[in-house]
A and B are shown apart, each in its own frame.
Chain A
């Protein structure tokens, strides 16, 4: 199922809806998330962002119902001429593409492909990064040093270029794109989680828990980690925007595999490149879809950041 990564994991309900049942043992944590949820509902940016994201998720989920034609169908094949691509009509609301595919159907199926790639790659990056960050933040010492050197190495090359070369080496498929974008996100999450965990470790409540005789592992896993997750979740939401754009970029460069008739926004832009003079709408629509999806994730992510930031919190 396609859901946004912010909704994966234990913190999903308090973030997105305040009506969800909360774990009574985690009262202090819950109140932060409850306050955040209230602030999000009052923030127009958050509401717009969440609405955009929700609409696209629904479109992706309901693609078989919504799309007039199948994912790879070329219903208008007979109507295509070398110099003429039929525009919008009653049969094809947004017109046809060069191969006779229905643009609207391809956009709808494309939402599914693009969101899935974005979500899966961000989940991959989040999990990998959280693991590395947790290792570094929890153990410290040489584990920390080694992990952070690895992170520095990965950050020493611009992320998209690294993703391009990873995807190129793995092979041209959507899996390659997911892995490449996920791997590139790993150092970002790792560094972020480690940083926030280190900052938390110096807090009084950690000292209090330790002096109560709790083991290091308990303190790390049930006190430090939950309190360090806020920035990571914010970053994951913002990263979804980047992932959708980067996925489209890799597909655009031909790294996503598939044929020119594949229903994926980035791939559609590649195909539209040659038709810019004949049918600019073929580039406009998928491009706008990518930009609006990214806008939705960015708006929501930034609102979430504001909502969780104690400095800007007014209640």
Chain B
């Protein structure tokens, strides 16, 4: 197991190296280059030159790349070309919000999706099954930002059950030792602050989690149906294993492998969806940070963001692979 983890971590290095080269070349291959983008089309040649000299855009490409790489290795992701705030600082400050949001969404998707898919499979061909299949099809085709709109309109604007924007009410003068607002509230025993932060999380998390929920429910359903009819389940039944024991130890456990893969794949969807959901709910995570960088053509932020996301994504996928070993003993041998 440890060897698997180390192997995969080692494989991450060439991936990140390749990705960094791609990112580097792609930003510099643009007509006009970053300086023009920064200053606008009508910038004077002198101004462009000054920016080029300031950020080193006029040096040879290899030198530029090596400088950038050296900085990256020291944990320096560069500074925003707009605000001069170091990219990493901003990430670390905003990332807890996105983690909080995606974790809650994932929890919802897994916690509801797996039981739903399982129950649907047990009622295969009946009303409950058809409803689940139809609902999950709808879940796959509805754009996350539209769903966010609908929820915001219905539960925030119309019913007023939940706040419509932000991470916490401005009136909550809470302290934030970790940046995870719900956790902060619990740690500092400011229960009302934790509750308020949680209420702000509900709608974005439901919007973000619904699509993975639909996908997980679909895969669970299909997988359970397949395993239910497998020979080894018949064998187990023939040997006298019945009821919840059979379902838990044989059916569910074997059906979980494709589900684990699917959950891993959802993380990419969640991170992408977070950008859109955070925009709709004015939620101050890395999503809205990226949206700002996009508007301002902040290359340093864009490059840093993509690399950062690639690392997160790779680590999550590694975690999924490790979880295979926990679910399926056969995987531990290799």
Interface residues of A (CB under 8 A from B): 149-150, 152-153, 156-162, 164-166, 168-170, 241, 245, 248-249, 252-255, 269, 272-273, 276-277, 280, 283-284, 287, 290-292, 294-295, 298-299
Contact = CB atoms under 8 A, between A and B. Distances in A.
B81 to A, nearest CB: 13
Given A153-B15, A165-B294, A290-B146, A158 B268 contact: yes
Interface string B134-176: 0001101111111001101100010000000000000000000
Contacts of B297: 168-169
Q: Is the interface of A mostly helix, strand, loop or mixed?
A: helix
B153 A280 contact: yes
B306 interface: yes
Interface of B: 14-15, 18-19, 22, 26-27, 30, 137-138, 140-146, 149-150, 152-153, 157, 267-269, 271-273, 275-276, 279-280, 290-291, 293-295, 297, 299, 302, 305-306, 309-310, 313-314
A161 B138 CA distance: 23
Contacts of A156: 15, 19, 310, 313-314
A291 B18 contact: no
Contacts of B142: 291, 294
Contact of A161 (B140, B143, B149, B309): B309
Given A157-B309, A169-B299, A290-B146, 11 more contacts: A156-B15, A156-B314, A158-B309, A162-B306, A249-B143, A253-B275, A253-B291, A283-B149, A283-B153, A298-B137, A299-B137
A241 B140 CA distance: 10
Nearest to A293: B141
16 contacts: A153-B18, A156-B313, A156-B314, A158-B268, A161-B275, A161-B290, A164-B275, A165-B305, A169-B26, A245-B141, A253-B291, A254-B291, A273-B149, A276-B149, A287-B143, A291-B142
B157 A277 contact: yes
Nearest to A248: B143
Contacts of A287: 143, 146, 149-150
Contacts of A283: 146, 149, 153
A295 B137 CA distance: 8
Contacts of A272: 149
Contact of B143 (A152, A157, A291): A291
Max count, chain A CB within 10 A of own CB: residue among B26, B141, B157, B267? B141
Contact of A168 (B140, B144, B294): B294
Contacts of B15: 152-153, 156
A190 to B, nearest CB: 15
B165 to A, nearest CB: 11
Identify the 9 closest CB pairs spanning chains A and B, nearest first: A158-B268, A160-B272, A287-B146, A294-B141, A168-B294, A295-B141, A291-B142, A158-B272, A153-B18
B171 to A, nearest CB: 21
Nearest to A166: B26
B272 to A, nearest CB: 4
B97 to A, nearest CB: 17
Contacts of A166: 26
A164 B141 contact: no
B290 A252 contact: no
Given A169-B27, A249-B143, A269-B149, A158 B313 contact: yes
A298 B305 contact: no
B157 A276 contact: yes
